[in-house]
Amino acid sequence: MPNYQAPLRDMHFVLHELLNVEHELRSLPAHAEMDADTINQVLEEGGKFASDIVFPLNHSGDREGCHYDAATHSVTAPAGFKQAYQQYVAAGWPALSCDPAYGGQGLPIVLNNGFYEMLNSANQAWTMYPGLSHGAYECLHAHGSEEQKKLYLPKLVAGEWTGTMCLTESHCGTDLGLLKTRAQPQVDGSYQLTGSKIFISAGEHDLSSNIVHLVLARLPDAPPGTKGISLFIVPKFLPDASGNPGERNPIFCGAIEHKMGIHGNATCQINLDNATGWLIGEPNRGLNAMFVMMNAARLGVGMQSLGLTEVAYQNAVSYARDRTQGRSLTGPKAESQAADPIIVHPDVRRMLLTARAYAEGGRAFTSYIALMIDRELNHPDEEVRKLAADEVALLTPVVKAFLTDNAWIATSEAMQVYGGHGYIAEWGMEQYVRDARINMIYEGTNTIQSLDLLGRKVLMDNGEKLRKFGEKIKSFVEENGTDEAMSEFVTPLADIGDKITKLSMEIGMKAFMNRDEVGAAAVPYMRVVGHLVFSWFFARMAKLALEKQNSGDDFYQAKLAVARFYFARLLPETAMLIRQARSGSDNLMALDAGLF
């Protein structure tokens, strides 16, 4: 059976040495009193909760799945899920980074981010229930009326109620401009919503006393396309005069999807039959409001995949140390045994280091993005807030797509380490592969994320956001370019930065003549940008490790080894990707559709 231990040592390194969060948070009035000891204590307790309470339910939850009762339209989560959620609520975890005005603890996003990495390693399916609630909280906090905030936010912050986002319909998928769900105004200011939604994660369950659905729908006079979408609160139970769950609202689960993974989370078909709802924000501006939750979800999916990468790596290492098979090519390493542990074999190490590098790079990247969100939300200087917001916008699709791609690679490699045992369910590894593969699809497929990055975030502003992010990398290169010990890291970092600048300009010029060039280049382009980001962080981590490599702490020697592996074995993928991106659209579009 699998095991999991929170990677606290590496988390401390990223937060305190790489990002220097204590110093950074001092510039944010809301978090100026936050210190390293508090951060470490919260992470330690969060790690215990993840490994002791949530992790033991992962394998059993996957095997059992959710139970749907067609007669009552109700869903029961796997055994133990509800009790674990009650412990989560009792310990105050839902409130960690929420606004104190609504009962939150007001701690920084970067700390909540670390907690969620551990939860996702422990049990992604379970973590999606509170994770979606946090996204609903953020959306209402940003766009809800004062009355809506007063009614719903304290319940969501406390974890008494959970939340969902109801976007997709069977005929439209990501193209939300085609959605058909209708909202009819009522004389009391409410709306009656009718329609059907699919793929609604945590859309029905028994963990909380109420579920707050955020639903996209059209008003009767709405213009076509995405400009005619409004956002509504549609609770499972209508709040009574005291704000408690009252009358059952006709928004029901019609079925749960039978999917390849994440079995412990109910993915629901949701039917609305004149369900009562209330408008959030302005009419026909719902997509703008929902983007708060959608972007939170995209970052969250990246964290899910980081969690899977870490836990798959940990278990593959444990197996490779214990499993004996064959002898080292350079002679026996365990002479007292009939065979050597497979960790002595070069290709086993390649697989393990691939997973480890993607975990460590992903942890640095996502922690940095979370810190930028804290800066965006709390810095007193408007210009600093705007720069942080632009950087988060630029890199959000990279977090989602690059990290989920990498988790698919890492979990597959980790399963391969197990050989035949890897695809046997009792070992747990095949579950991580199944779960990781789903993450590449939902919350906007990785192709959609790649199009968003290249088409909207880079080309639409002529590369301005990318240029500003690149200035940080350029400064690092200039500061360390003359350090001979850093050349093995700085030289490839500078090289990939230059290549992305040229590639972006080349694709932009082609796109003026043919927009298909964007679609043809987007996916390899996204991975190249992902490697640029990882190269920056690995170079920075290597610099810190070089400074402390003789400290007697083996952690820094290991950090250097992983950085060297990344630059030697993973970054070279970009040579192929750049050639793919430059090959153009003709090789994709020349074949007539009827000949496929």
Spatial CB neighbours of 567, under 8 Å, sequence gap ≥ 6: 488, 489, 492, 535, 538
| CA 303 and chain centroid, separation | 4
Contacts by 145-148 with C-beta closer than 8 Å and gap 24+?
145/280, 148/233, 148/278, 148/280
Q: Which residues are bridge partners to 280 per DSSP?
A: 231
Name the catalytic one among 138, 376, 443, 517: 443
Task: Please say whether the beta carbons of 269 and 256 come within 8 A.
Answer: yes
384-404 in b/e form (b: 16+ CB < 10 A) is eeebbbbbbbbbbbbbbbbbb
DSSP per residue, 221-253:
TPPSGGGG-EEEEEESEEE-TTSSEEEEPSEEE
How long is the chain?
A: 596
Backbone angles phi, psi at 203, to 5 degrees: -70, -20
Task: Please say whether the beta carbons of 372 and 399 come within 8 A.
Answer: no
Contacts by 36-39 with C-beta closer than 8 Å and gap 24+?
39/15, 39/111
Write the CA distances from 272 to 166, 192, 193, 254, 269, integer angstroms.
11, 9, 6, 10, 10
d(CA 201, CA 370): 23
State both tokens at 315.
């278990």
State both tokens at 351.
């697989």
Q: Which residues are bridge partners to 275 per DSSP?
A: 193
d(CA 346, CA 359): 20
| Structural Rg of the chain based on CA atoms | 24
Task: Please say whether the beta carbons of 533 and 367 come within 8 A.
Answer: no
Write the CA distances from 19 to 22, 49, 230, 364, 537, integer angstroms.
9, 25, 39, 8, 10
Stretch (H or E) spanning 268: strand 267-280
d(CA 256, CA 103): 33
SS (H, E, C) 179-219: CCCEEEECCCCCEEEEEEEEEEECCCCCCCCEEEEEEEEEC
Residue closest to 77 by CA, chosen among 260, 253, 204, 236: 204
Residue closest to 138 by CA, chosen among 305, 377, 368, 365: 377
d(CA 339, CA 333): 9
Instruction: Answer yes or no: 382 catalytic.
Output: no
Query: Annotated active-site positions, please?
Result: 443
